[in-house]
Structure 1
Amino acid sequence: MTNPDFSEISFDSLNLAEALIQGIQKAGFAICTPIQALALPLLLAGEDVAGQAQTGTGKTASFLLATMQCLLREPSAGAGQQPRGLIVAPTRELALQVSKDAQFLGQYTNLKCVAVHGGANYRKQRHLLEQGCDILIGTPGRLIDYYQQRIIGFKKIQVVVLDEADRMFDLGFIRDIRYILRRLPPPDKRLGMLFSATLSLRVMELAYEYMNNPQLLRIEPQKVTVDKITERVYFPANEEKISLLLALFKRLVPRHAIVFTNTKHVAEKVWGYLEGNGFKAALLSSDVPQGKRQRLLAAFQDRIYPILVATDVAARGLHISTVTHVFNYDLPQDPEDYVHRIGRTARAGASGLAVSFACEDYAFSLPDIEEYIGHKVVPFSVEEEELLVPEQRVFVSHKDKKKSHRRAPHPRQKKKSFQKKETYSGGKNHT
């Protein structure tokens, strides 16, 4: 039986450079995923591609391998600090993930990759750029900043990639993207790629305006979520959500899990309850400094923290293949955010469980989500779960939480136990 997660095309048959084949083998890849099987032959033949595929199906490897192959094949036309490959990502998390994958796949090549983004040391990034690079990976604002200071140039670009182009629109970066694209060589003088989990009309208009007759590729567009994600939804009252979450953690014992909330305030509350009940967790929101954010993500990836409580800052660009469970403590209001959240599990052919809480505040989002994904999410009754008795539920006080966030502990250091704890009394107000 054919595995739908992979095609019949091997990487060895694509006539890639030997250095890239070594990197692919080091990563444990042998057979292309469907999006790689469709995109790579076209890209290696010099055709532009606009590709849509489900999250976690290999889009990043597609554009990285095509970029590196092009740069290895073509003689260097750059000088000094000017890059030859440009990859634009909407968020710092995605830029860092792409950079990490590029370093791994290209470890046997002589190509130098540099990532630039906000929230990191400005002078350090500038110094790296002044030393020169072949592939530049960055967020729009930081790229324009260095360009306007003439630290980098775009005239020698041979390959350009727009990753998660739909997110560029959502975050209001489209003017910045157009600013960058207008300063690149003409579309027929470079290889262009656009990859995204969703391709809207406005994204396709951007592609046809700034790319050279791109080939449109869609992988099972009628199926938005991955088959191997088991989805379920509960309908708790607002005051039942914490006890339901704790009960599910007690029963399911997730090895590696992400809990998504819609706001920073709720994320802090959920993190406090998990920590207070013995579940070791990291907390990630948009205002966490970049240095601490990277340490927390590294610790989560290494399972020093088996649980990550996060806002949608972690919904895209986070590729951790071992995530087994995703919990939507707050059901997202945007159907696309639901797809990206649950896509953090069941990566690269694995299976996973996605649990959502359709509470009093967010249950109205469920019909739109089900219409978008094309199927009903299996409902589960709150009464079917054996909820924890009040004496078992403990809340870490706000004062203790603030103390724990003043300095991010080194992942290898033991976290100090919280001394001040308060009992949570069945959903009633607490102080």
Structure 2
Amino acid sequence: MNNTTKEETVELHQTHLSDVKFADLPLLPELKSAITEMGFEFCTPIQAKTLPISLEGRDIAGQAQTGTGKTAAFLLAAFQHLIKHPKPNKNKRNQSQVRFVILAPTRELAIQIAKDAEKLSKNTELKIALAYGGTGYDQQQKAIEAGVDVLIGTPGRIIDYWKKKVFSLHECQGLVLDEADRMLDLGFIQDIRFLLRRLPDPGKRLSMMFSATLSHRVMELSYEHMNQPEKLEIKAEAVNTKKIAQYVYYPSNDEKIPLLIGLIQKLKPERAIVFVNTKRNAETIDDYLRGNDIQAVLISGDVRQNKRQSLLKEFAAGKHQVLIATDVAARGLHIDDVSHVFNYDLPQIAEDYVHRIGRTARAGASGEAHSFACEDTAFYLPEIEEYIGMSIEMASVTAELLADDLKPRKRITRDRVPQRPNNNGNKPGQKHSGKPRNGGGYKGKNPRNKSGNQSANKTANKSDNKPKAS
């Protein structure tokens, strides 16, 4: 197979849409009618560039970020391919023959893709199914066993069902890898390769890959498992940042929470997202915002899946003013009218900065991004500014911006996923016996006390336990 790719760099228009109409594309009538019913007339730039290629059955490796319309681009191509190539007869083993697989890095993104898929396929006979971890194992399995054309989900759960022979990939006609860079960052490379090696040869299927960046790792994957893909680079940074007023503050760690609350109280955003690098920081912020009469909601992997979806719906409906999230938890979320983004922690990866601030100023709207370059994350800023091609305006941390007399809410319970006891652990209700585990702490010592002095540990334990700002 020739691994040469055709490269094309595309600069985005000043507006969110291109001048290409869906009506002018060679789409089947049932797909055009669904698009019309959804109120879409013009393509986004990524749709305008990819659809003419993918509708001809050619593979694509496209660089596009969340919010650019890439989901509709690959769904329309996949559906048209399946309709033009009718489902073969069931095999003798009577397994469900999945015809198209769409892989996503997170449950939230998989769910969002499935929602869009249902809308775009409403005038067809195609059957859509979801497969993702955290909930609904038996229900998802039954849906797949009933027969499915398009299977959307996360790699781990899909592999699990394949190993149980819930479905077969022998007749699979296509594959989509959405947010391929994020899947690699999350360590899914082995799972992805496992599935790709069980699909028909690249020349016998339609393959599409989308990624925020077409890094060497991403393109290496396309070289191995795609058929001479067209490489389309859509420079999304210009659109994602041009209408966003960006500011960077240099607070001390102790000033971060007072500054965040002060900015929220001053700016009064109708809907804002606060990004953090750790779940621990997310929980601390959640406690302080709620404790100071700011309606906030936290999403993380520790919250039960059904509760998580409920909270996201409430935020989208305007019930909560602030959403607190890590990059992974927020990936794939489609929430309109977010006016402000706060980077409580600067991201370690420059491209994640663009992902974050791109949550505001969607569909051509304007927005604001306020970033905290604190003692722990300030050294990420030069790489971010180099990546976006501009210097971020510096804003002063003044006394007027720092909220005072802050109190965290008293935490009672959280909707956490129950932890399963390991094989060597005690069962629920069973007392522990034997040697103490780790001496009751990190090797029996306070991990913050590098000297290991026990008296210092005792003194530290008796010190003021007031919550820190970060």
Query: Does TM, normalized by the shorter one, top 0.5?
Result: yes
Cα distance in 2 for partners of 1:236, 1:30 equals 46
Which residue matches 1:414? Answer: none
Verify the 8 A CA contact 2:62 2:231 in the aligned structure 1. Answer: yes
2:408 aligned to which of 380, 395, 400: 395
- SS of match in other structure, 2:217: helix
1:12-411 equivalences under 5 Å are 12-77=23-88, 79=90, 81-220=96-235, 223=238, 225-383=240-398, 385-390=400-405, 393-397=406-410, 401-403=411-413, 405=415
Does the Cα contact within 8 Å between 1:322 and 1:345 map onto a contact in 2? yes
| AA aligned opposite 2:23 | D
Q: Which amino acid aligns with 2:352?
A: D
Amino acid at match of 1:143: I
**For the residues of structure 1 that align with 2:319 and 2:157, how far apart are their CA atoms?**
31
**Structure 1, residues 291-347: CA drift from partner, whole Å, max 9, x if none?**
221111122222222321112233421111222211111112221222222222222
Q: Structure 2 vs 1, CA of residues 260 and 63 (structure 1 numbering), >3 Å: closer, same or farther?
A: same
Aligned-partner SS, 2:194: helix
In structure 2, C-alpha distance between the alignment counterparts of 1:49 and 1:83, rounded to whole Å: 21
Structure 1 residues 37 and 78: alpha-carbon distance in aligned structure 2, compared to 1, 3 A threshold: farther
* Residue 384 (structure 1) shift: 7.7
SS where residue 242 of structure 2 aligns?
coil
Name the amino acid aligned to 1:249.
I
- Tell me, yes or no, if the aligned pair for 1:116 and 1:138 is still in contact at 8 Å: yes
Q: 2:315 and 2:34 mapped to 1: Cα distance?
A: 25
Aligned length: 405
Decide whether aligned partners of structure 1 residues 151 and 208 sit closer, same or farther in structure 2, where only a CA change above 3 A counts: same
2:303/2:415 contact within 8 Å kept: no
1:8 to 15, 19, 36: 19
Q: Which residue identity does 2:376 align to in structure 1?
A: D
How many Å separate the matches in 1 of 2:37 and 2:273?
28
**Aligned residues: CA RMSD:** 2.0
In structure 2, what is the Cα distance between the partners aligned to 1:364 and 1:385? 26
Separation in 1, partners of 2:283, 2:85: 50
Instruction: Map Cα deviations across residues 129-179 of structure 1 (whole Å, 9 max, x no partner).
Output: 111111100111111111111101111111210111111211111111111
Return the letter of the residue paired with 1:395.
P
Greater Cα offset, 145-154 or 243-252: 243-252
- 1: distance between equivalents of 2:355 and 2:413? 32
TM-score, normalised on structure 2? 0.82
Give CA-to-partner distance per residue, 1:387-425, whole Å, 9 cap, x none.
Answer: 3342xx33212xxx2336479xxxxxxxxxxxxxxxxxx
Unmatched 5+ residue regions in structure 2?
Answer: 1-12, 418-463
One-letter amino acid matched to 2:412: K
Q: Structure 2 counterpart of 1:133, which letter?
A: V
Structure 1 residue 104: deviation in Å? 2.0
Contact 1:222–1:374 under 8 Å retained in 2: no
Deviates more, 1:17-26 or 1:207-216: 17-26
SS in 2 for 1:354: strand
Specify whether residues 279 and 116 from structure 1 end up closer, same or farther in structure 2 by C-alpha distance, changes over 3 A only. Answer: same
CA distance in 1 between partners of 2:120 and 2:30 (Å): 9
The residue that corresponds to 2:430 in the other structure is none
Amino acid in structure 2 at the alignment position of 1:402: I
1:424 alignment counterpart: none
Measured in 1, the distance between the counterparts of 2:280 and 2:89 equals 48
Tell me which moved more, 73-82 or 233-242: 73-82
Task: Give the 3-state SS of the residue equivalent to 2:177 in structure 1.
Answer: strand
Instruction: Give the match for residue 447 of structure 2.
Output: none
Measure, in 1, the Cα distance between the counterparts of 2:45 and 2:118: 23
Structure exhibiting the larger radius of gyration computed from Cα positions = 2
Q: Distance in 2 between matches of 1:15 and 1:57?
A: 21
Tell me the equivalent position of 1:413.
none
Tell me the amino acid that sits aligned with residue 324 of structure 2: V
Distance 1:405 1:68 in 2: 38
Alpha-carbon separation, structure 1, partners of 2:108 and 2:89? 28
Does the aligned pair in 1 maintain the 2:241–2:354 contact within 8 Å?
A: no
Identity in percent: 54
Q: Which runs of 5+ in 1 are unaligned?
A: 408-427
Deviation, structure 1 residue 116 = 0.3
Q: Deviations over 1:157-203 (max 9, x none)?
A: 11210111111211111111111111111111111100111110111
Secondary structure at 1:395's aligned position in 2? Answer: coil
* Matched letter for residue 430 of structure 1: K
What letter matches 1:74 in structure 2? H
Moved more, 148-157 or 317-326: 317-326
3-state SS of 1:90 partner: coil
Task: Output the CA distance in 2 between the equivalents of 1:112 and 1:229.
Answer: 40
Cα distance, 1:430 vs structure 2 = 2.0
